[in-house]
Structure 1
Amino acid sequence: MPTFTAPDGTPLAYDLKGEGPDPLIVIPGGPLREPAYLGDLGGLADRRPLVILHLRGTGRSAIPADHHSYRADRMVADVEALREHLGYERVDLAAHSAGGTLALLYAAEHPDRISSLTLITPSLRPLGLGPTDEHRSEAKQARRHEPWYADALAAEHRIDEDEENATAEDWLCYARFSYGRWDDEIAAYETASADQFHNGAGGSMYALPAALDPERTKAKLATLTAPVLILAAEYDSVPRPHVAEAAAKFFPDARVAVQRHAGHFPWIDDPAEFLRLITLDADSNMRSIVTG
C-alpha cells in the first residue's frame, strides 16, 4: 500500500483505485472516518483513477504525536504533501461530507494547485454555512410520506433523550433519514459504519472554531479560477440544496447539481445518476442542474 510522510513526520497512507493518468484525489468525511466507506465511489474508479487519502489517525495512516494536528486547517499540509508526493503541479480534488471542510481550506490556501474541485454533499462550515436545526428539519420533512417516517422520528427522540442507552435498532431506524432508499444493501452498509469512526479526540478537534475563519476563506476562494462542482442531495441536510446554491456564489466558476431521491451518500443511493452528475461537462452554462 502506498505511503508518504506528512511535514510533521506522521506516516500517511492512501488507496489507489483504477488505472490511468490524471487521478482524482479524494478526501473522506466523518470527520476522520475510515475511507473504506467510499468504496469506488459508485464505479467512478472504472472511469478514472482515484487516490483516496487515509486521514491521519484513520485507516492505515499513523496516529500523530500531537493531537492538535487533527485540526482541519493543520491537515491542509497533509494534502499538499500528498500532491508533492504524487508529483503533480495541479490536482483534481474531491471530498465528501466533513472532508469538504479540509478541501475548502486546502483550495483557499493553494488555489494555484487546483485543477478542479468536486464537493460531494459537503460540509460548508469554512464558508460560514454549517447545517442548522432548520436544515435538518427540512430534510426530515421531505421524508414525511415514507412508511417508516414515524418510527424514525421516535427512534431519534429516544436517542436524544438517552444516547448512551439507545439500541442498535434505534440507530439503524434513525439512519434511514441519511439515505434515499432503504433495503438490505443499505442496511448492511449502514451497519458496517459503526466501526469506521475515529474514537479519540481527533473528531472533536477537526472543525474547532479556531480552525475556521469564514471571511478569510471566502476572500481567498474568490481567487480560485478552477471549476467547482457542489453536489447536493434532495433528502440531505448537509448541505440543503439552497445552501449549496448560496455557497456557489463565493466561487468565480461554480455549478450546483442536486441528485433527486438521494441522501448523504448519493453514490450508494443511485450510482448511475451520481456518475452522470459529477461527470457533466464542467463548462456547462447551466448554473444549477436539478434532475429527477
Structure 2
Amino acid sequence: MSHATAPHALRPGAHRYASYDGAELAYRVLGPRDGAATPPLVCLAGGPGRDAAYLGDLGGLDEHRPLVVPDSRGTGASPPATDPSGYAFPRLAQDLEALRQHLGLERFALLAHDAAAATAQAYAAAHPERLSHLVLVCPGARLQGELPDDAREIFEARSDEPWWEDAYTAVQALPTASDLDDVRDLLRRAAPLAYGRWEEPQQAHAASEGAQLGPVPRAGFWQGVDEATRLALVEQLRAVRCPALVVTGARDGVTGVRAGELVAASLAHASARALPEVGHFPWVDAPDLFRTTVEDFVRGA
C-alpha cells in the first residue's frame, strides 16, 4: 500500500475508518494542506480512555508533517465498544492496524502518550515490520511488571510549592473515591503534580481533564491481560527492530522517569531522554523542546 491508495485519508479534518469488526471509528488529521507528501505521525492518546483533544497539536508537531489522531472506542467521536473487551489495549492495537490499512501506509511512525504506550507496545509486538519509528511519551511500566516509586519522590520534593498541600490531600483521597464527580474534583485538585510548573498554560490544559474522562473505556483498558499475556508480549518486544525513543519528564509526578527507562530497556533499539523542568505533558510545559526532540528523532537527525 502507499499514500496514493487513500489520499483523502491524510487531508486535514475529521474522518472515519472501518475497524476489524466493522465499527466506524473516528480520527482527525492535523497539519499543513500539503502535508501528505511528508510521512505522517500517528498519535495515540492515553488516560486511559481520555478524549484525544488533550493532545492538542503536541507542541506544534503538525507544522511539518500530518498528525493522525484517532479517537479510541468510547472517546471523542468514536462509538463505544459493543463488547467490554474492545477497550482492552491489545484490541485497541487491532484498531490501530485497521487504521494503518485505511491510511494506505506500508510503514509509519507512531507516538503514544501515557497509558497508550501499552497499546503502542502491543502493536509493535504484533506488527514489528509496520513501524518506522516509535515514540513513547511518559509511559508507565505496568507492562514490564514494575511500578517504580520515583514519581512519588518527585511529587514530595515539591512540597514547598503553594499548591502542594491541597494536591497531596486529593492524591490520598483518590484511591477510595467512587463517585465520578468526586473523582473529577480530586483530579482537578491533584493536577499540578502532573506539570513542570503551575502557570496559565498548565492550568488551562488541566481544566479540561474532567470532561474528557471516559470511565468505561478506562475500566476496560487492562481487561483480560493476565500475567501470561503480559510476559508473552514483553518477550515479543525483543523482536521490534525499529528505532524507539522514550521521552520522560524530570518533574513528572504521575509516572516518573524510572518507568520510561524500564520501557526503553525492554526494546532492542530504544533510548530514553528525560526533559528538564517538564512534567507528564511535555508539550504543554516545553513545547519547543518537545517538538524538536520528537521531530529530530523521527527525521533521523
The TM-score, its normalising length taken from structure 1, stands at: 0.88
Match of 2:26 in 1: 13
Structure 2: gaps (5+ residues): 1-13
2:164 pairs with one of 136, 149, 157: 149
Distance 2:254 2:90 in 1: 20
Cα contact 1:142–1:235 (8 A) shared by 2: no
Give the drift of 1:281.
4.5
Question: Is residue 233 from structure 1 mapped to residue 249 from structure 2 by the alignment?
Answer: yes
Q: 1:257 touches 1:277 (CA, 8 Å); kept in 2?
A: no
* Equivalent position of 2:258 in the other structure: 242
Structure 1 alignment gaps of length 5 or more: 285-292
Report which stretch shifted further, 68-77 or 157-166: 157-166
* Alpha-carbon separation, structure 2, partners of 1:220 and 1:256: 20
Identity over aligned pairs, percent? 33
Residue type of the alignment partner of 1:196: Q
Q: Give deviations 1:98-151, integer Å, cap 9, x for gaps.
A: 11110010000000111010001123322223x45x334212123233233233
1:68 aligned onto 2:90? no
2:292 pairs, out of 276, 282, 288, with 276
Q: Indicate if the aligned counterparts of 2:150 and 2:258 stay in contact, CA closer than 8 A.
A: no
The aligned counterpart of 1:80 is 97
* Shift of residue 264, structure 1, vs aligned partner: 0.8
Which of 35, 51, 67 is the matching residue for 2:68?
51
Measured on the aligned residues, the alpha-carbon RMSD in Å equals 2.3
Structure 1 counterpart of 2:90, which letter? D
For residue 123 of structure 1, what is the amino acid of its counterpart? G
Residues 1:169 and 1:94: Cα distance change in structure 2 (over 3 Å): closer
Give the structure 2 partner of residue 259 of structure 1. Answer: 275
Shift in alpha-carbon separation, 1:25–1:147, aligned structure 2, 3 A: same
1:141-220 correspondence to structure 2 within 5 Å: 141-159=156-174, 164=179, 166=182, 171-200=187-216, 202-208=217-223, 210=225, 213-220=229-236
**2:127 maps to which of 93, 110, 116:** 110
CA distance in structure 1 between the aligned counterparts of 2:23 and 2:49, rounded to whole angstroms: 15
Q: By how many angstroms is 1:26 displaced?
A: 0.7
State the one-letter code of the partner of 1:82.
L
1: CA distance between counterparts of 2:246 and 2:87? Answer: 25
Matching residue's letter, 1:175: A
Question: Using the alignment, how far apart are the partners of 2:266 and 2:183 within structure 1?
Answer: 42
Task: Mark the CA change 1:236 to 1:2 in structure 2 (over 3 Å): closer, same or farther.
Answer: same
Q: For residue 222 of structure 1, give the secondary structure of its aligned residue in structure 2.
A: helix
Note if contact 1:100-1:124 (Cα within 8 Å) is conserved in structure 2. Answer: no
Larger deviation, residues 173-182 vs 208-217: 208-217
Structure 2 CA distance, aligned partners of 1:12 and 1:168? 26
Distance 1:111 1:238, change over 3 A: farther
Query: Are 2:155 and 1:140 equivalent residues in the alignment?
Result: yes
1:27 and 2:60 aligned: no
Q: 1:188 to 1:4 in 2, by over 3 A?
A: same
Return the alpha-carbon distance in structure 2 between the equivalents of residues 210 and 163 of structure 1.
23
Matching residue of 1:42? 59
Q: What is the rounded CA distance, in whole Å, between the counterparts of 2:79 and 2:248 in structure 1?
A: 32
* Aligned residue pairs, count: 281
Give, in whole Å, the separation in 2 of the partners of 1:43 and 1:121.
18
Q: CA deviation at 1:247?
A: 2.3
Equivalent position of 2:109 in the other structure: 92
Shift of 1:169: 6.4
Provide TM-score, normalisation by structure 2: 0.85
Does the CA-based 8 Å contact 2:140-2:259 persist in structure 1? no
SS at match of 1:125: coil
Change (3 A) 1:216 1:158: closer
Distance 1:220 1:160, change over 3 A: closer
Give the whole-Å Cα distance in 2 for the aligned partners of 1:113 and 1:55. 20
Q: 1:247 to 1:161 in 2, by over 3 A?
A: closer
